[in-house]
Amino acid sequence: MALYRQDSSRPETPAVTLSNTDDVQALGLEVDRLKLIVLSFPKFTDGRAYSQARLLRGRLGYKGELRATGAVFLDQLPFLLRCGFDSFESDQPGFGEALHRARSLFSVVYQPTEDGRLPVSALRLASRQ
């Protein structure tokens, strides 16, 4: 299984791996001390780790590395990035190239998420001021 990351540095500990059934909000204030959180996609049709990622980034303010592992496929990459994942484990051929393309696939976005991109509605408002 190959690891694809946003930067080439290795994360420091402490780290935690969570099942997609774990309540990420139970991490509470401990989330601030974690350098790496690994979220599992046990099968393609189970997207609970997307919700976990949104909660970690949006509600709990997690700033460390967020890794997707398990059934992580090329066509999911734009959505994984939007939810705040920044590293991935996958053995699919061409995953690195697909990740590079996914980072610039959409020039504008419509929903606010955890990737920090402003939605088109905010860009329109800003252009009027």
Set out the domains of the chain in order of their start, with CATH numbers.
2-128 (3.40.50)
d(CA 26, CA 4): 28
Percentage of the chain modeled with pLDDT above 90: 58
d(CA 78, CA 66): 15
> Cα 49 to the chain's mean position, in Å?
9
Neighbours of 90 (CB within 10 A): 23
pTM of the model: 0.83
Q: Is the pLDDT of residue 15 over 60?
A: yes
Q: Is the pLDDT of residue 85 over 90?
A: yes
Confidence bin at 105 (pLDDT 50/70/90): confident
Question: Which tokens sit at 107?
Answer: 């020039």
At 9 the pLDDT is 63
